[in-house]
Amino acid sequence: MTTSRIGRAWAAATLLIAVVCGCSVVPVGRAGGGEDSPVGDPMSKQFVRMVAFPPRPEWTAEQVVQGLLAAMAAYPDDQATLAEYLTPKARSAWKPAGPVTVVQDTSKLEADEERGTATLPGVQIAGIESDDRYVPVTGGGQRTFKYTLKKAANKAGQPVWLIDSLDDGLVLTAADVERSYRPAKLYFLDGGSGPDGRGSVVSDSVRVRLRPDENLAETIVRRLLKGPSSALRGAVTSALPENLSVESVTATDERIVINLDGFVDLASLNLDGMKAQLAWSLRTLASGNRPIELHRDGEPLAAGLGSIALEDYKSWGSDHGSGTAYYTSGGEVRWMSGGDGPGNPVHGPAGQRNEYADLALSAGADLVAGVAQDGIVVTPDTPEGTWQRVIQGDKLTGPSWHRDGSLWTYDRRAGAVLRSTADPAQPPTRIAAPALDGLDVTDLRIARDGVRVAVRIGSGEIRVGAITGGGSAMMLGNFQSLLKVPDGQQITDVAWRDDEHLLILISSSKAGPSVQEINVGDGKAAALTFADKRVKSIAASGSRILAGTGQEIIEYKDQGWTTNVKEGAQYPIFPLG
Amino acid sequence: MPPNRTVRAHRRTLRQVLGGVRRRARRAVGGARRVWRRSLQLQVVTSTLVISVTVVAVLGAFLFQEINKNVVEGRVRVAANEVLNDRLQISSALAQQKTETSGKAAERGSVRLGPLDEALDSIAGVPEDAPRMRYDLLVLNREAPGNSRAVGNVEQRLIPHELRDALRIDKDKRDFDHPPRTWLTTLPVNGDSRPTLVTGILLHDPANAQTYEIYHFFPLTQEAEMLSSVRQLLVVVGVGLVLLLAAIAYLVARQVVTPVRLARQAAERLAAGKLDERLKVRGEDDLARLATSFNEMATTLALKIHQLEELSQVQRQFVSDVSHELRTPLTTVRMAADLLYDAREDFDPMAARSAELMQAQLERFESMLADLLEISRYDARAATLDLDSTDVRDVVLRAIADSEALAERHSTRFELRLPNEPCMSEIDSRRVERILRNLLFNAIEHGEGKDIVVSVGADRDAVAVAVRDHGVGLKPGEDTMVFDRFWRADPSRARTIGGTGLGLAISREDASLHGGWLQAWGQPGDGSQFRLTLPRTAGADLKGSPLSLVPPEVEMRRTWRGHMTPVLSPAIADGAHDD
């Protein structure tokens, strides 16, 4: 009896401990949102954001407009404060939707209190489209924003200046954008144009607005689910099911967990494509080579198949070329050797002296195309190869190889884009490009990702579009102007450096040639200058940029140009681009 | 109505159920109380538990409070430093802006940010791969538009109003250098409430005559987790300590209680008559000495009892021997006296009267001697029963027939109340007849000529005979003394029927030999009643008597009078249970 009583006492004591320990001061044993992120993790980096206050009675009209701009900056987080700046009339008339106008910070506000007006003569530097695309405005977008103010009673009944009329849409300063927007590259799938037909990822640059209640990764995944921006609409696909939504993205030292919500049909899901998209889109954030795990409603997706190791998806990126550079020397296509001396000519007829212009190399550098008098000719770089005409025409632009092995050109006489399979037996097909109708297209270059297309209009403008559709529905679309050079300057050459960086060689009668490197995604431009005024052509691949002067081949290295081939060289070539 | 009845029935059932529960609970409480009162060990362990739980709880609470205070205070101190650092950074950035004449503001990429943004960027570690700051920040400038910033997921409405009010008062008093004000609160974060330390401090920018309110939100999640685990540890340790103390108390109490329990059992056995019971003596401690003393006491007691028994034996033997020895000379004297008695008519009247007197006293002497011998047989436990299944009514009738002559002499009549069915019982009829005879003689002697009621009753287990007289009755206390040897109600009264003074004592012994009871009731003026109760089967234990000891008419009268007069409770003879 005594023993059983002791046993009962122990059991009761154990129960007591369990009960008392059960209720703790902090709930433990579950993910606490973004709090788990290790310190210094780029995923959970803080950002500074604007906090807006309602207008105050002692504020001048100018201060009220400044307050309105601050409220616009804070608008996505706090919509109520902006409304307090507006009279009822303005409140019902004003629409916040539409593209965001980005003006330069130095814009000086001019207010006339007696007439109750204020103007903001801003220099618009960019716009952020509804699809989050950041479009810089080049060439001085001087704009004036007009505000009409009125003395009216605020909520507390005090007389304050209120905005009575204003333009639709939000106006942000560059600093506002810098504070609360982050550039992000979303990756989508091309239509399987790669050599193995698996498809690869194509980047789409957007500016996402940071949200205080979620981390950047969550914002990016949320944006990724919305699909590509207008630059790539129709040209790329997304493997992420449309009905999915993001519950949370949490990071620990070991892994990043994306918790999705919504129905997932595993049978029809392109899980590999989806994982590739996520891996590439979150590549910069998943520092430390952490794997990404996909969960749905808190449970691992697809029984552990939802784990993404970033290394596995490296090959999904587009090929930036082998890095081997070529150049022409009196019509001969030559390898560029590491040293200063002349390189060896390639095999086949391309390595021999010929009269063809604008020679271009295919993805594997196994085919060489060039412009002849009566069309475009192609030869393999084998000793027994011969030049064969694949496209007929007397006013064709220089050939551009697509990564799928096709050859593209623009027939200036017919005003049509031609695509050839590089097989002499098959005639080229016309590709519809309604946006280019009636334009003087002087160059057409397919980007290395096989999706983007750059065209030169005349010698003063560059437009960038994309190959949309597939098969017989293939066409060129989504064209947007990338660069217009002012009078007195001429665009002499265009080359793709990688998927989204375009090098534009501009020659100016006064200042000499210069290279603009423009990110076609967000329009960011960087300029490279030359000491040598004879530069006529340019080629690039990955980190290498080569230029030809007609005599020498020079390379951009360590912020300066060094000579690679001293003499007898006309222009450099990289495969594709 | 049927529904009503159903309801009532239902209610009754409920009440019954409740009653049952109450009864059971009372029984359980009673059981627990009994266990509690009987177990010294349980009492010791319980008191130890109660005291140690109290002490541990008080100590634990105090300790936890101290740790809590220290942890939070430490965090507040660290936080205050960070707050002052940030304030300094913002303040110097704002001052720099003035000296640098606004044209040469810091640039990031192509975008120029204001000094406030620059300072906050470096605090939050936005531009470089700086460690993420561990707190959220609100910098509010209510006077100028566009000069308020937030870092992290905080909003104005999360500022505790106590803090806001304190800062407002500081601002009104222009007390810009007040140390950081702190406030502990919980903030909702992703649906959870997070313990947070909020601090507020003012920053005055004299160049622009603007005042910034800087609020820091330090999450105390780690501290709370630490405190939580400390509390768990304290609870576990406290409970462990209490259990340990209880176990120690249990063991210690067991060491003391076990010998005490053994001593108690030994004492009980000793009390039950096992005089050779002794305790084991181990060691030399207090308990061992208790055992030694107990053993000595038991030995002394046994010795004394033995001596007394021997003495008693000697006395009994002496009485028996004297009785036997007296018989032989008495027989001779008797024969001589018989001769004298028979020839008394030849004597002169004086001598004849002497012969008669001698004859009468000799008869009395003889019967006294016979009674003494009978009594000594009982004392020597030599009396045996000659059992036979007999109708008690017949025995009663025989005894009455024997007493009739005496009754006539006292002009006393018998009133018989016999049941119709035979009252069979296993008895020694000779002894029972003797008992009844004794009772009847006694009743005639003390009945003062009034009627004597003889009742016989029987039930399943027992038969009873009651002899009721209406004489002087018994005084309180005399109902047990009547059975003493040679006891006399009134020592001055002469014995008229020559009772030996041993009759009732022998009757009592006879009744005991049957396993029955012989009890007396009496009240002065109400007469007396003697009741003999015998089991139907020899050796069976008696549980009650078919007849009441107090005569029914007296009982009725007592009920009638009710509480008017205090009732003398009828004395009950030893071991008897009346119903």
Residue B132 to residue A40, Cβ atoms within 8 A: yes
Query: What is the per-residue DSSP string for B76-136?
Result: HHHHHHHHHHHHHHHHHHHHHHHHTTTTT--EETTEE--HHHHHHHHHHT-SSSPPPPSSE
Residue A10 to residue B243, Cβ atoms within 8 A: yes
Residue B228 to residue A33, Cβ atoms within 8 A: no
Residue of A nearest to B129 (CA): A40
pTM metric for this prediction: 0.66
Q: Which residue has the tokens 């059932």?
A: B13
| pLDDT computed for residue A196 by the predictor | 55
| pLDDT computed for residue B308 by the predictor | 93
| pLDDT computed for residue B53 by the predictor | 92
Q: Which residues of chain B are within 8 Å of residue A53 when distances are taken between CB atoms?
A: 140, 142, 145, 148
Q: Which residues of chain B are within 8 Å of residue A52 when distances are taken between CB atoms?
A: 145-146, 148
| pLDDT computed for residue B391 by the predictor | 92
Give Cα B180 distance to the centre of its chain: 65
Buried b (16+ CB within 10 A) or exposed e, B85-121: ebbeebbebbeebeeeeeeebbeeeebbbbbbbbbbb
Least confident of A137-141, B135-139, B224-228, B364-368: A137-141
Instruction: Give B160→chain A minimum CA distance, Å.
Output: 17
| pLDDT computed for residue A244 by the predictor | 85
| pLDDT computed for residue B84 by the predictor | 92
| pLDDT computed for residue A14 by the predictor | 60
Instruction: Give A24→chain B minimum CA distance, Å.
Output: 6
Burial class for B150, CB neighbours closer than 10 Å (0-12, 13-18, 19+) = buried
Q: Which residues of chain A are within 8 Å of residue B250 when distances are taken between CB atoms?
A: 6
Candidates A53, A103, A250, partner chain B, best to mutate (most B CBs within 10 A): A53
Q: In this model, does residue B26 exceed pLDDT 80?
A: yes
Mean pLDDT of all residues in B61-74: 90
Residue of B nearest to A55 (CA): B145
Q: Which residue has the tokens 């959220």?
A: B136
Mean pLDDT of all residues in B511-515: 89
Residue A105 to residue B112, Cβ atoms within 8 A: yes
Residue B134 to residue A39, Cβ atoms within 8 A: yes
Residues B292-330 pLDDT 10s: 998 998 899 889 999 999 998 898 888 888 888 888 888
B129 — pLDDT class (breaks 50, 70, 90): low
Q: Which residues of chain A are within 8 Å of residue B126 when distances are taken between CB atoms?
A: 45-48
Cβ–Cβ pairs < 8 A, chains A and B: 141
Q: Is the CB of residue A18 less than 8 Å from the CB of residue B232?
A: no
**A69: its two tokens:** 């701009």
pLDDT greater at residue B347 or residue A319: B347
How many whole angstroms separate alpha carbon A502 and alpha carbon A523?
10
Q: In this model, does residue B240 exceed pLDDT 60?
A: yes
Q: Shortest CB distance from B228 goes to which of A26, A40, A213?
A: A26
How far is the CA of A19 from the CAs of B120, B225, B228, in angstroms? 46, 18, 14
| pLDDT computed for residue B132 by the predictor | 58
Residue B151 to residue A47, Cβ atoms within 8 A: yes
**A490: its two tokens:** 């001429």
How many whole angstroms separate alpha carbon B88 and alpha carbon B97?
14
How many whole angstroms separate alpha carbon A158 and alpha carbon B95?
34
Residue of B nearest to A106 (CA): B112
Residue A27 to residue B125, Cβ atoms within 8 A: no
Per-residue pLDDT in tens (0 to 9) along chain A, 577 residues: 445 556 666 666 565 555 444 444 543 333 333 444 445 567 777 888 899 999 988 888 888 888 998 999 998 888 889 998 999 999 899 988 888 888 887 667 788 878 888 888 878 888 888 888 888 876 666 788 888 888 888 778 888 889 888 888 888 888 888 888 988 889 998 876 545 556 788 888 899 998 888 888 889 999 999 989 888 888 888 888 888 888 888 887 788 888 888 887 777 778 888 888 888 888 888 776 788 888 888 788 766 677 787 777 877 876 655 568 888 887 788 888 766 567 788 888 888 888 888 889 888 888 899 998 888 999 988 888 888 889 988 889 989 998 888 899 999 888 889 999 888 888 888 898 888 888 889 999 998 888 889 999 988 889 999 988 877 788 888 888 888 888 888 898 999 988 788 999 988 877 778 888 888 887 788 887 776 777 888 888 888 888 888 888 888 887 778 887 777 788 888 888 7
Q: Which residues of chain A are within 8 Å of residue B117 when distances are taken between CB atoms?
A: 48, 175, 179
Q: Which of A78, A84, A81, A83 shows the shortest CA–CA distance to A160? A: A84
| pLDDT computed for residue B533 by the predictor | 93
This model of the complex carries an ipTM of 0.77
The C-alpha torsion from B228 through B233 and B235 to B241, rounded to 10°, is -170
Instruction: For residue B106, give every residue at least 6 positions away whose Cβ sits within 8 Å of its Cβ, in sequence order, or none.
Output: B112, B113, B115, B118
Instruction: Give B438→chain A minimum CA distance, Å.
Output: 58
Q: Which residues of chain B are within 8 Å of residue A73 when distances are taken between CB atoms?
A: 146
Residues B449-477 pLDDT 10s: 889 999 999 998 899 999 999 988 888 88
Phi and psi at residue B557, in whole multiples of 5°? -60, -40
Angle at B62 between CA B56 and CA B64, to 5 degrees: 95
Task: Give the start-to-end residue ranges of the domains of chain A.
Answer: 93-318, 326-573
Query: What is the per-residue DSSP string for A350-362?
Result: GGS----EEEEE-
Q: Shortest CB distance from A51 goes to which of B114, B149, B232?
A: B149
Task: Tell the CATH topology of A326-573.
Answer: Methylamine Dehydrogenase; Chain H (2.130.10)
Instruction: For residue A576, give every residue at least 6 positions away whose Cβ sits within 8 Å of its Cβ, in sequence order, or none.
Output: A319, A321, A361, A362, A363, A401, A402, A403, A446, A448, A496, A541
Instruction: Give B555→chain A minimum CA distance, Å.
Output: 51
Segments of A273-432 assigned E as strands:
292-296, 299-300, 307-308, 326-329, 332-335, 357-361, 367-372, 375-380, 388-392, 400-401, 407-411, 416-420, 429-431
